[in-house]
Structure 1
Amino acid sequence: MVFCAIAMSQIGTRAVAKIRAENDHQKLTKAFWGLWYVQALSSIAIIILTLLAVTVFKVEYQIYFYLQIPFLISAMFDISWFYQGLEEFGKVVLRNTVVKLSSVVLIFAFVKSQQDLWIYMLIMSITTMFGSFAFWLSIKRYVDRPVKQFYQFRSVIIAVVTLIVPQAATQIYNSLDKPILNFLNGSATQVGYYDYSQRISTILLGVITSITIVMMPKMASASKESQRLFLKKSLEITTFLAIIFTIIVMINTKEFVPVFFSSQFEPMTAISYFATLRIIFLPIGEVFSNQFALANRRDKDYAIPVIIGAGLSLILNLILDKPYGAVGAMISLLTVEFVVCLLRIYIVRDAYDAKYVFKDFPKFGILAIVTFVIGSLLPNFVPQPYINMTIKSLIISVVYLVIFVLMKFEIANDLKFLIEKIIKRRES
């Protein structure tokens, strides 16, 4: 799917955002069709190669590979990048919501036993495919009939080659880390501990990194002066959310793991505790890469940190996975995420004023430490774990917000204005 999409979520979003700012309908039509042609041709080639490889080499679980071909077809017809470039995020959210709800309903209706694994896979792939088809229902409202040529073919291919490498490299420490752990350590239990310890942080990362999806097209179409302001505001809001989410999860981890995953997973409590730090490292790095570097066509600056991270991940996994299992794999992941974050900040340093952008970061550090210490001292209020975790989370959130307001952060006024705007909309 990575090679079917060929980084079009970045390239397409950026191109469409710039054309939207120019308000040129004809150019928008040429850009959409020209970019999608590249995506379609790449997808067709990948689908054919996948079918040939699975059929000729008669791989294990062959039927399951066939059942997931609709995922590749969905990547071929996925034009969410076009709507993101136009800042039509409502359509993307609606599509994703319908796909998820449909898959859940169908799973409960048709998956009844272990023998229904093939049905589960088919449901997941088919619903995703039809979700991509849904984007095409309203495309006529935005563009005219298909054109006969590619869009800026040479520059697009250079961008694809530049961006596809880091996307493939990212899979090394986001996907291949688990098979590597299993191969070196040989324990499915350790792989389970490592995998499940990231589940909560991954969900929360999806919430925070949505800021990047919204800000990238704004950055791409903004002036240099506006970009500097957007960068600062986006970084501060991202950090604000990342800190509170991290603290809430850390404080509740010891109680949450045995209750939610069962007592069998208690050994992964410490791993899950430290895995939460990803909530800080990853989104802060993405502000400088996915938002800033990509918006300014600094594709190499986007690629270099990820490629270095992939190489570092392989080295650390080879050293740590066998003797330390899940703990070693988590140390490797956190080290890579931290290094990649620092590299993303450093590599585009010439394009922003660090003193201006990081002005409030010492205050964020104090805010995080004080809130974490207070949260760590909270006792268990009731025997029921879920109620207890809810009470703790509410107290931590209130403490965090009170300290945040007292420390007079610059973005406090922005958040106040946003809340007032939401309230006025609801009242009207």
Structure 2
Amino acid sequence: MKKTLLNIFYNAVYQIFLVLVPLITVPYLSRVLGPKTYGIYSSVNNTFQFLMVFCTLSVSYIGMRTISKIRTNESKKELTEAFWGLWYFQGIAGLITIALTIVVSIIFKVKYWNYILLMVPFLISAQLDIAWFFQGLADFGRVVLRNTIVKLISVLLILILVKGPSDLYKYMLIMSVSTMLGSFVFWFNIRNYVGKPTRYFYKLKATSKAIITLLIPQIATQIYTSLDKPILNFFQNTTQVSYYDNSQRIANMILGVITSITLVMMPKMASEGKEAQKKILRKSLEATVMLGTLFSVIVMVNTKEFVPFFFGEKYIPMTPLMFFFTLTIIFIPMGGVFANQFALANKRDKDYAIPVCIGAVLEVLLSIILDHHFGATGALISILTTEVIVLILRIWIVRDGYEFKYVFKDIPKYFIIGIVSLSIGMLIPQLLTSAFFNMTLKSILVMLIYLGLMFMIKLDFNQDILNVINKFLRRNG
């Protein structure tokens, strides 16, 4: 358990770092590039997020799950066979995807084809990405350190080289090449863990079946999390795309921190028995919902001030979008607990796949209906509706594997605490003239109100929080 907590800490630190980096780059880029140019990047970038799925297939999930089971045997031979045999799927798929992207872009001169070629290193990074191997080994410290160094270098290059809308190509190159280098560095000492490359795919039939089963939901997920921007761009201008994309940025940064719990707990769940899984599932869901509602409330009470302060005056029209998109900080991590920690950890791949496939079809239909008439607002309604339905399906489809009353015992209380905290927070006046310090003060007050209500209601999870604090104090006392 100590190693699990340490891994959660490592991953949380890295996710917080990923939050801090955009806090530097996004305000700078939103002003330097402007909504129209930023919208071009958003459209191209999200197209590549979709293409990257075809480079990685489902190896990241399958690999993490497989390596986490094998590592308990401490057999280097088996680790070698699993690593190389799984990466072959990823390597070949990456070559095919990269080749097709380049050929189609050049021959058919698709929209923004010149920018698409600049982003090809993103696909190479997906092909080379073997972070799943170290995550399966529960070696999250290595993942965190190397990616942190690469991110810092990319931030410096952006601040030095990107000075105006005409420098969009520089920004794209910096982002794509730095991501590629971040994947490449994992290969430097892989031989310390595994032997020479094997000649065969790892359990060809079983792995192929798992890849196909998981690839479908991955494609489906990308349809409504990445292709929503290109679809909006088809019906609207790049400014609308920029408003919609940037309204998600803060929520997505926070989502990275919260979902890091799910990422770390999946290998833990995969190696535990059913009884232990029930307890882990409940604790993880409570932690996820508590953090989700707390962060959502903090963002919502500050949105009106935050948008002009962080993005600039030109982005004020996106304020309502950011306010309501914040709800995904609650919906998505909750679904992740049942999808990643439970369904995938227990090889219930079909149960993982069905909700997101339904969600993809629904999101595309809603986008086609709403985007043309309502622009970014229509896209927001589409994604929120989709995420709520996907969450409900994820909880329902694995209901036979857990006790609903036991797992959800205290969850409604967190929602009540969140609503009360939001209501009080919205009534807090502007106490300071400085927007930054006013938002900081308001955030602290809302957090204290939320935590105070938690301990007033006497939730079971409160004792877990106190235990963690006591252990920390004893170690540093």
Fold match (TM-score > 0.5) = yes
> 2:350 aligned with 1:300, yes or no?
yes
Q: Deviations over 1:203-257 (max 9, x none)?
A: 1111111111111111111111111111111100000100100111111112222
> 2:319 aligned with 1:269, yes or no?
yes
Hey, what does 1:224 align to over in structure 2? 274
Hey, what does 1:118 align to over in structure 2? 169
**Structure 2 CA distance for aligned equivalents of residues 201 and 113 of structure 1:** 26
Q: 1:136 aligns with which of 178, 181, 187?
A: 187
> 2:88 aligned with 1:37, yes or no?
yes
Q: 2:424 aligns with which of 374, 382, 388?
A: 374
Q: 1:363 aligns with which of 387, 407, 413?
A: 413
> 2:79 aligned with 1:28, yes or no?
yes
Q: How does 1:15-414 map to 2 (within 5 A)?
A: 15-184=66-235, 186-414=236-464
**Structure 1 CA distance for aligned equivalents of residues 110 and 255 of structure 2:** 34
Q: Deviations over 1:2-48 (max 9, x none)?
A: 11111111110010111123333321221111111111111122222
**Structure 2 CA distance for aligned equivalents of residues 73 and 4 of structure 1:** 8
**Structure 1 CA distance for aligned equivalents of residues 475 and 102 of structure 2:** 51
Q: Deviations over 1:104-126 (max 9, x none)?
A: 11223333444433333222222
**5+ residue gaps in structure 1?**
none
TM-score by length of 1: 0.95
Q: 1:322 to 1:116 in 2, by over 3 A?
A: closer
**Structure 2 CA distance for aligned equivalents of residues 266 and 66 of structure 1:** 33
Instruction: State the shift of 1:425 in Å.
Output: 4.4
Deviates more, 1:418-427 or 1:2-11: 418-427
Question: What is the one-letter code of the residue matched to 1:118?
Answer: Y
- The secondary structure found in structure 1 opposite 2:71 is helix
Instruction: State the shift of 1:155 in Å.
Output: 1.0
Question: What is the one-letter code of the residue matched to 2:172?
Answer: M
Instruction: State the shift of 1:381 in Å.
Output: 0.9
- The ranges of structure 1 where at least 4 consecutive aligned residues each deviate by more than 4 angstroms after the TM superposition are 424-427
Q: 1:3 to 1:240 in 2, by over 3 A?
A: same
Instruction: State the shift of 1:324 in Å.
Output: 1.8
Q: 1:112 to 1:363 in 2, by over 3 A?
A: closer
Q: Deviations over 1:36-81 (max 9, x none)?
A: 1111111122222223223333445444333222222211111000
Question: What is the one-letter code of the residue matched to 2:326?
Answer: T
Instruction: State the shift of 1:152 in Å.
Output: 1.0
- The secondary structure found in structure 2 opposite 1:380 is coil
**Structure 1 CA distance for aligned equivalents of residues 313 and 174 of structure 2:** 31
- The secondary structure found in structure 2 opposite 1:198 is helix
Q: 1:65 to 1:194 in 2, by over 3 A?
A: closer
- The secondary structure found in structure 2 opposite 1:22 is coil
Q: 1:21 to 1:255 in 2, by over 3 A?
A: same
**Structure 2 CA distance for aligned equivalents of residues 278 and 158 of structure 1:** 31
> RMSD value over aligned CA atoms?
1.7
**Structure 2 CA distance for aligned equivalents of residues 254 and 107 of structure 1:** 28
Deviates more, 1:70-79 or 1:332-341: 70-79
- The secondary structure found in structure 2 opposite 1:21 is coil
Q: Are the equivalent residues in 1 in contact too, given 2:293–2:415 (CA < 8 A)?
A: no
Deviates more, 1:20-29 or 1:285-294: 20-29
Instruction: State the shift of 1:267 in Å.
Output: 2.5
**Percent same amino acid among aligned pairs?**
54
Question: What is the one-letter code of the residue matched to 1:400?
Answer: Y
**5+ residue gaps in structure 2?**
1-51
- The secondary structure found in structure 2 opposite 1:149 is coil
Q: Deviations over 1:308-336 (max 9, x none)?
A: 00111111112222222222211111100
Q: 1:416 aligns with which of 466, 471, 476?
A: 466
Deviates more, 1:396-405 or 1:367-376: 367-376
Q: Are the equivalent residues in 1 in contact too, given 2:59–2:89 (CA < 8 A)?
A: no
Q: 1:423 to 1:61 in 2, by over 3 A?
A: same
